[in-house]
Chains A and B, each alone.
Chain A
Amino acid sequence: MKCLLSYLSVVLLILTSCKNQNTEGKKLYNQHCIHCHQEGGKGVGKLIPPISGAFLKDHEEDLACFLQHGMKGEIMVDGVSYNHEMPPNDKLTKFDMVNMLNYLEEKYGTGRTDKYNVERVQKMLNGCP
C-alpha cells in the first residue's frame, strides 16, 4: 500500500511539474509577447511576423539573444519579409527564457517540451553579438 501511494505521488508530482513548465511559458507569452504576436502567434499582416516553427529551428542558437536584445532590420519568416523592430525583453530571467522557448517549441515547433535548458540558454546569451 505504501509503495502504491509513493508511486502515485511521484507520478502526480511529475505530471504536475511538467504541466507547470509549459503553463509558465504560456503565461510569459501572454505577458510579454501577445500584444505584438497576438493569440495563436498569428502576427499582424506584414507588420508583425507569426511565430514560425521553421524560424524557431533555423535560429535555434539565436533565440535567447532575440529575447534579450530584440531584433532590428529585415528578416524572413516563412518566405515573407518583415522589417519592424522587436523590442528587447531584458527583464526576462534565464528561467523565463527556458520556459518560454520550450513553450514556443512545443506549440509552434516540433512539439518537444525539453529542447532548452538553463545551460543552453546561458551559452546562447554569452555569445550574443
Chain B
Amino acid sequence: MERNYINIISAALLFILFSCKGQDHYNLKYYGERTLDTNGDTIYYTVPDFSFTDQDGKEVTKSTVEGKVYVTDFFFTTCPTICPRMKDQMLRLYNEFKDEKDVKLVSHTIDPRHDSVAVLHDFAYNKLELTPGTWHFVTGEQQKIYDMARAYMVVAGEDGTAPGGYVHSGKFILLDRKGHIRGYYDGTDPLAVADLMRDMKTLLVEK
C-alpha cells in the first residue's frame, strides 16, 4: 500500500516537472497589430517594404529576406556603449548559422552620414572578419532608417545628450519566413541570445 503511494506521487511530480516548461518556445508569439481578412483568418503584422544598400554595395529589400528566418537590429559603427556587445552577441548567431542559407542577419546603421558603404565594408570584413552572404550591414536615407526602426517597433534616433549622439534599442528582432515579428531579445544579454538561437531553430522548421 505504502509503495503504491510513493509511485503515484513520484509519477505525479515527474509529470508536473516535465509539463512545467515555463515559456512556451514551440509556439512563438506574433507581435504587432493583427487584422482579420474576409474569411475570418488572422493577418499578422509585417513591416513595409524597404530598400537599403549593404556593405557590398548591393540593394537589400524585403525580397532579400523573403522565405528566410532573419534577425535584425540597429547600431552605428562609432557607438561607444552597447554596440560592441551587441555585435559580439550577433557574432554568436553568425557563427551558429553562417552555413544555413535560410538565415539572414540585417544590421541597420542609424548614422548613415558616417557609416557609408565603405565604412560598413571595412567594419564587416576587416573588423569583424566575416565572409559575405549571411550578415548584411545596411545604410540608406536617415529618415527611412528611422522609419524602419519604428516599423520594427524599436527605438532609434538622434540624441545630442547620448554618448555617441544616438540613442537606440539594444534589441534583436526575430522574424519568420513570412516576415512576421516573432520575438524581441536583449542583444546585450548572452542568455537572451541563447533563447534567440533556439527560437531561430524553431522557426526554421515551422510550417
Binding site for B on A (CB under 8 A): 34-36, 38, 44-48, 84-85, 87
For window 133-179 of chain B, which residues contact chain A by CB distance below 8 Å? Answer: 163
Q: Is the interface of A mostly helix, strand, loop or mixed?
A: loop
Of the listed residues B84, B85, B128, B129, the one surrounded by the most CB atoms of chain A closer than 10 A to its CB is B84
Find out whether the CB atom of A47 lies under 8 angstroms from the CB atom of B123: yes
Residues of chain A with a CB closer than 8 A to B88's CB: 38, 44
Give the total of B residues in contact with A, Cβ under 8 Å: 16
Stretch at the interface among B13-21, B22-30, B55-63, B74-82: B74-82
In the bound complex, do residue B84 and residue A47 qualify as a contact, i.e. CB atoms below 8 Å apart? yes
Contact among B84, B129, B188 with A48 in the assembled complex (CB-CB below 8 Å): B84
Q: Is the Cβ of B129 less than 8 Å from the Cβ of A44?
A: no
On B, residues with C-beta under 8 Å from A are 78, 80-82, 84-85, 87-88, 91, 123, 126-129, 163, 188
A46 and B127: CB pair below 8 A? yes
Q: How far is the CB of B71 from chain A (nearest CB, A)?
A: 18
Give the residue name and chain of the B residue nearest to A42 (CB).
B88
Check A85 against B78 for contact (C-beta < 8 Å).
Answer: yes
**Residue of B with least CB distance to A88:** B80
Contacts of B163 in A (CB 8 A): 87
28 A-B pairs with CB atoms under 8 Å apart are: A34-B85, A35-B81, A35-B84, A35-B85, A35-B188, A36-B80, A36-B85, A38-B84, A38-B88, A44-B84, A44-B88, A44-B91, A44-B128, A45-B87, A45-B91, A45-B127, A45-B128, A46-B126, A46-B128, A46-B129, A47-B123, A47-B127, A48-B84, A84-B127, A85-B78, A85-B80, A87-B80, A87-B163
Contacts of B84 on A, CB cut-off 8 Å? 35-36, 38, 44, 47-48
- In Å, the complex CA distance between A45 and B129 comes to 7
Chain B residue with Cβ nearest A48: B84
* Nearest CB on A from B109, distance (A): 14
B128 touches A47 (CB 8 A): yes
Distance in Å: Cβ of A45 to nearest Cβ of chain B? 4
5 closest A-B pairs by beta carbon, nearest first, are A87-B80, A47-B127, A45-B128, A36-B84, A35-B85
Bound Cα distance A36, B130 (Å): 19
A101 and B88 alpha carbons, distance in the complex (Å): 24
Q: What is the CB-to-nearest-CB distance from B181 to chain A, in angstroms, rounded to a whole number?
A: 26
Compute how far the CA of A34 lies from the CA of B129 in the bound complex, rounded to whole angstroms. Answer: 21
Q: How far is the CB of A73 from chain B (nearest CB, A)?
A: 14
Contacting residues, chain B, for A84 (C-beta < 8 A):
127
Q: Which residues of A contact B123 (CB under 8 A)?
A: 47
